[in-house]
Structure 1
Amino acid sequence: MLVESVATLAGFEQSAITLRRCRDYLILVAAGVEEGFVGTRVPLEAMEEEMSRADDWGAWRYVPHERASAEVLAYSHIPDTVPLDVEDAWHPLDMLFAPLHDDDGVLRGLLSVDSPRNGRKPGPEQLAVLTQYAGVARTLVLLALERESLAEQVRITGEARQIVRRALGEPSLELVLEACRAAVTECFGAIGMWLTAFVEDGEHAMTSYAVGSDETPPFSEIDDVVIRLAHRYWTDQYVAHFSHSHADQPGLPAADAERLLVFLDRIGIGSVLFVPLGAGPECLGFLVLTRIRDTPEWTTVEREAALDIGRDLGRAVANARQLAQERAVADHLRRIDGYRMEMVNTLGHELRTPLFSMTANLELLDVDNLGPEDQRSVAAASRGAERMRAVIEDLLTMAQVADPQREFVPEMVDLRQVLLDVAEECHHAAAAKSQDCRVEAPEEPILVAGRSDELHRMLANLASNAIKYSPEGAAIDVRLTATDDVVRVAFADSGIGISERDQRDLFREFFRSTNPHALARPGTGMGLAIVDRIVRRHSGQIDVASQLGQGTTVSVTLPAFDAALSGGPSS
């Protein structure tokens, strides 16, 4: 509209606007001439040289045809007209343009006109109209460029925020930064960045990135200044643009500002954007974006976007700290558990020898020739030795199945056969209490991946519990089923049951029920804890359904054997 208005109202056939789109070129963006010229690139240096030869007509510059350079004319539209035979005739190679400068004197574009309708150079009245249009053109062009620049900044910084937020899904702060640092640097028009994360106990970790360089400047030299600023700026939610022309910053003494400037000069940085990182009220570090020069300045949009990114990265630092703490706790617990298992294993083996000696000596006694009182004493000692043997065996089994260092190499196991073996072994104990143990299992093998000895111990413990805690003459139902994906074995009894309170601690080592009826039965409190460990080692799940006084059903679900995953059947 501007181009058409200038041509129409100022009395010219042609007009155009050329904008400075990059450092070295002007680009024709609107022209009232024949098609094909929009997008023409004119070297800035050639145009500036042309202006140096021009006559100053106030807001306009006039270059008569005899002074026009061949280089600029090569980029120009030359009207096909014949000049008038008068003194002030307009020549087709004459040039008339108005330079459009911003408030800092930087050339941002040109408004040009050509081919006056009267064929003459503009007189005072026509030049006055042109001057008014030059002012309007400057205002509109600068507004359009500013609006365009702002929209571009919003787009770019929005992209930077999205990139950072996508990167937050990475499991560590290092991977978060690796995933986003190049994009953030590019989006902000920076040449590099460094980030310092506060760890704990006054410690901190630093990482840096620079386009085209693997060197890490000695940022630690200024840590005492920037760490103090980070805490203050997080509290104030303030982002600092620091450079020689912006050295006066809140909370920064002149001497410290001078130190920072000397340091930045030494590493070739002209301007930085200092961004605090944090989560909630806590400052967790800082991010610094760097540029070689102080122009262009960091805009308000960039500062606000950088603060948003600082909040996001602050959450990443908080997550990394939390994860490090959890790993430390987990490592500590693993060491404790390993030490506990090692102590239990050692203790069990050390107790076996004296227990064997005591049991052997008890067996050597001629009990038949002892008096009734002595016979009762020997029987009590034998029962105590048997309970101790059971405890030791359970301790050693627990140490074995709970040892994280013990390699677990699963094999193909027929769980149906293991269950039938267990049923046969427990038959005598059930018959002694006149109990009816019913086993329901398919006719074909039921295959799982695991260790046969551990699965045997798991089923034996469950069968033993069902028999122990069921009354005389009770029925115990055992059912083995299988689908394509899982195998399930369930032990259902009509015994004393388990309270809801006891069920919460049922799989804890050495746990004994609060039920007096359960305490009256002998036990080590290790049986179900061993079952739970074995089930977990086999990637299975154990479930308990019970009501006090109405019986218990314990179900174990294991993954079915997959020949493809296991590399085929093995024995």
Structure 2
Amino acid sequence: MLVESVATLAGFEQSAITLRRSEDYLILVAAGVPDGFAGTRVPLSAMEEEMSRADDWGVWRYVPHERVSAEVLAYSHIPDVVPLDVEDAWHPLDMLFAPLHDDDGVLRGLLSVDSPRNGRKPGPEQMKVLTQYAGVARTLVLLALERETLAERVRITDEARGIVRQALGEPSLEMVLEACRSAVTECFDAIGLWLTAFHEDGVQATTSYAVGNDATPPFAEIDDVVIRLAHRYWTDQYVAHFSHARAEHPGLPQADAERLLAFLDRIGIGSVLFVPLGAGPECLGFLVLTRISDTPEWTAVERDAALDIGRDLGRAVANARQLARERAVADHLRRIDGYRMEMVNTLGHELRTPLFSMTANLELLDVDNLGPEDRRSVAAASRGAERMRAVIEDLLTMAQIADPERAFVPDRVDLRAVLLDVAEECRHAAAAKSQDCRIDAPEEPVLVAGSPDELHRMLANLASNAIKYSPEGSAIDVRLTADDDVVRVAFADAGIGISEPDQRQLFREFFRSTNPHALARPGTGMGLAIVDRIVRRHSGQVDVASQLGKGTTVSVTLPAFDPDLSGAPAS
């Protein structure tokens, strides 16, 4: 919406937002350019050289065509226009962009425009509009990056929680590590790990794992250094990113650092993340995650998540020492989950009140008497409010179905009737895109055991996705079948499809596709996560078959209603 607004209201044919990544710049979204331009990656060196050639135009930077480097042009979309024969004519190779810095002054992205409609370089009034949009772009980019970081944090935290659930209750440290080692190394893009636990009698036990390598390095050579660091770092809640480039850490003398580096060089490790393990005030050991080199570097998100895992694995090690602690750890995790559910519920309900006030005031505006620009602003605000409402509803739904304290008492539900209700609700959305929604369902009721509201939400989310990501005039096929013991419902569309890497993450909370065509459509990243939670609550399974650019089929399999196992009334 932002890049389209810049192009429309600032008088340019083209605009784009580019984000800085660790090794390059990624053109995230673009308006007024051919499909495929969004997603282009530009080397850091090329963009930094171009910025050094730019003139300062307030918050914007201008590079005249005679200074533009050939390397940047290779990654650019060049408008097919002929410059005007005037002094302030805009040349197709001219560049105008606004650097977007965070509060610490770090460059996080760029807002760029090209091809002014009047064919001239922007004047003072046009620059005022551009300056305003640069401020809006900065805010939106920082919010998007914050959300991206939050999503990554949620991913790693969820995986850590899964690791704890696997590890808790194992009778030995070796079995604890075997239950979680693959997940830990994959989560952190590591090649291996070693874990040392401190027993109550003062003896240390070390277990290691390396992808494709069964050799055990002589860890005892450095025990005197790392054991001392583990106790200090657990007290300080400190995680050490250690390598040749980062050898200085609290409590680590230079001589000890040199010993550690020599040891790592000998076993072929270039970088480690040293994580203390513990429970409460007691240090129970340490975890070391390893990489061959210092690239990519361990991020702040990874360090924070590693410390969380250190806490969780500390509890798992404690369980290996004393199985009776399992109940206390489980109670602690349930309290955390309960607090999270309570927090999400409170946040959702508190946001509803100001959102309702804002929406009500927007509806009171006499839009007919407003100018075109004001009407567009009101429409944009209304769309934003609607998206916020959708996010709040999804958060509350996710909190409700994920609440471990919420009892699940299934009713006897006619899934055919629920599906027909959903089809009627989605009819207008499909008709607006001239789509043909075809439903193949038995004439008789199709019974399952479950919650009618949750099953309705599940089918509505799948139908909404099929309509949203399918082109105008396409067909959507919905098929409901019932065998002796299972019920299946499948939504098949001929939409944009889903890449294989994205399919592996579809049911993760807050996940949005990496496909620019999918990102261009509004969404919260919660729809399929809600579907997955509902299906699992109903002892079912959801499967996705998709090809990028050819369409998607999402199938849900649920147990058929068994009257011998339930006396639930019909719904």
TM-score normalised by L of structure 2:
0.47
Higher RCO, Cα 8 Å, sep 6+: 2
Question: Which structure's CA Rg is the greater one?
Answer: 1
